[in-house]
Structure 1
Amino acid sequence: MSGAVHSALRLKQRRDWASFMDPSDRALAFWLLAPTAILLLLIIVYPVGRLVWTSLHNLSLTSGLPAEFVGLENFEIMLDDPIFWAALWNTVLITIITVPGALLVGLGLALLANLPFRYRWPVRLSLLVPWALPLSFVGLIFAWFFQSQYGVVNDILMRFGLPRIIWFNSPEWSFTAICLAIIWKTSSFVGLILLAGLQTIPRSLYEAADVDGAGRLRQFFEITLPLLKPAIVVALIFRTITALQTFDIPYTMTRGGPGTSTATLAMYIHQNTVSFLDLGYGSALAVAMFVLSMGVTVIYLRMMGKGH
């Protein structure tokens, strides 16, 4: 009896080892996806969970006191904070202005870079240069461009007989300068994504449209734009999320001034966490930014799903 049981156990072990060495499709998928799932837990789920947990505490490193659980008190303070609402409005306004601006400029650059002429490399190089520059460096460059005394923009205005503008003393002009800098920087990224989408459109469709007598404008609206929609949605998702997290360019150009007229939500988070060392309230602000970014992403994905 014991010999039969021993043989059965050995047979089961062999089968288990064979199934481990030659797993089913479901088991193979599990083992292949397990490292990715663990990586996502480490770099996304845990930091976000830790952020939410910290936002529920009163944790200020300047007080010297241990963290105290306060529930939603930080979020209540946030809703009554006028600086938060001003920074949120500035962030939303930057997003509303720069995302369509970067899309239009990037689409034009992508169409130009996709034209079948011989020397396309300067146009494609112009797409890479702004994208490769660090954000803070772009902010410093444009701060010099719009400098009131010796900036390039005022020099051009004066050559055309127009008055000099003190850009960074006015909330409206400061905001304009920041938006122009962001559009210049981010349109190249959008252009690269759209150029990749244009490369996937078969030339045979345009040749068939030429045979049918369709003009360039009709081809653009009936062939290019519909087939380019997935690339446009991807570009809009990335561009909108980064616009909601805008920090470097406004910070290096105006430091949020004059006053707080150009301060963004990311800058206010930086001020509370790095300057004031109020990790609890800063984490609550970061949670608000995270929820806003995820909400916008869900809207884009739903729009993309309805399109299909």
Structure 2
Amino acid sequence: MIITVGQVLFGYLLALLYNFFLKRASGIIRTLVFFPVVLPTVAVALLFQKLFEFAPQTGLVNSILNAFGLHSVDWFGTAGHAFIVIALLDIWRSMGFYGVLLYTGLLDIPDDILESARLDGASGIRLVRHIVFPLSLPVLVSSLIFSINGTLKVFDSIYALTGGGPGTSTTPLTLYMYSTSFAGGQYGYGATVALLLTIMCLIVTAFILRGTRSDAVKD
């Protein structure tokens, strides 16, 4: 849930930045922010391993902590710290994609509606809250569905970054399915886990769509 909120929230903030502040220069920024999306997952995971390294060498993050008089943190030694690194990796890598996706939704908002709202005194946060946000809700729902399903099906980033450790504290269903099926040879049990994961994705998608449709009917 934290990863989903982070991906969509930062993506939406980027979309607002592209549409209302950067204007013509947004193309260059969109390309730079989108770049992590096309990077190989293993390369990104190795980058984060080096950034948060505790031993035998001190990574950049721990070096910054030491510079401020704080102790180094074993980021991959405890479940809580390892989850923070995983969340940062997934949010950083995906927010460019959601920024572009939500930006296309903002482009569909008619300019005359925005101009009318500005003439009526709406600006800044009020404009976003009362005009932009409601009109961009459909693409926000799509982003939520993409993000939640992607989080439920995450495999490569965790496998390359922590391997599910320490212990099994960061092992998602996908990695558990892989280890059960191919490492443990329990293919039937692994198929059951895969089926459960598919049902979970369908339930989450149906729940979100039903919730948004109910809100639309009430409005």
TM-aligned CA deviation for residue 176 of structure 1: 0.9
The answer as to whether partners of 1:171 and 1:258 remain within 8 angstroms in 2 is yes
Local SS of the residue matching 1:162: coil
Equivalent residue number for residue 38 of structure 2: 132
Structure of larger gyration radius: 1
Pick the aligned partner of 1:298 from 191, 194, 206. 206
Q: 1:117 to 1:301 in 2, by over 3 A?
A: closer
Task: Identify the residue that residue 185 of structure 1 maps to in structure 2.
Answer: 93
Corresponding position of 1:236: 144
1:217 correspondence with 2:125: yes
Aligned partners of 1:102 and 1:190 also within 8 Å: yes
Match of 2:186 among 274, 278, 297: 278
TM-score, length-normalised on structure 1?
0.66
Task: Name stretches of at least 5 consecutive residues in structure 1 with no aligned partner.
Answer: 1-95
Where relative contact order (Cα < 8 A, 6+ residues apart) is larger, the structure is: 1
1:62-82 CA distances to partner (integer Å, 9 max, x unpaired)? xxxxxxxxxxxxxxxxxxxxx
Contact persistence 2:30–2:96 (CA under 8 A): no
Q: CA RMSD in A?
A: 1.3
Question: What is the alpha-carbon distance in structure 1 between the residues aligned to residue 101 and residue 26 of structure 2?
Answer: 17
Structure 1 position 274, deviation (Å): 1.6
Matches within 5 A, 1:20-169: 96-115=1-20, 117-148=23-54, 149-169=57-77
Encode CA deviations 1:176-211: one digit per residue, 9 max, x unaligned.
111111111121221111011011111111211121
| Rounded Cα–Cα distance in structure 1 between residues aligned with 2:206 and 2:25 | 40
| TM-score (normalised: structure 2) | 0.92
Residue among 169, 183, 194 paired with 2:102: 194
Structure 2 unpaired stretches of 5+: none
SS at match of 1:164: coil
Provide the aligned length of Structure 1 versus Structure 2. 213
Which whole-Å deviations, capped at 9, do the CAs of 1:105-143 have from their partners, x for residues lacking one?
A: 111111111135442233211332022123332222211
Name the CA distance, whole Å, in 1 between partners of 2:42 and 2:98.
19
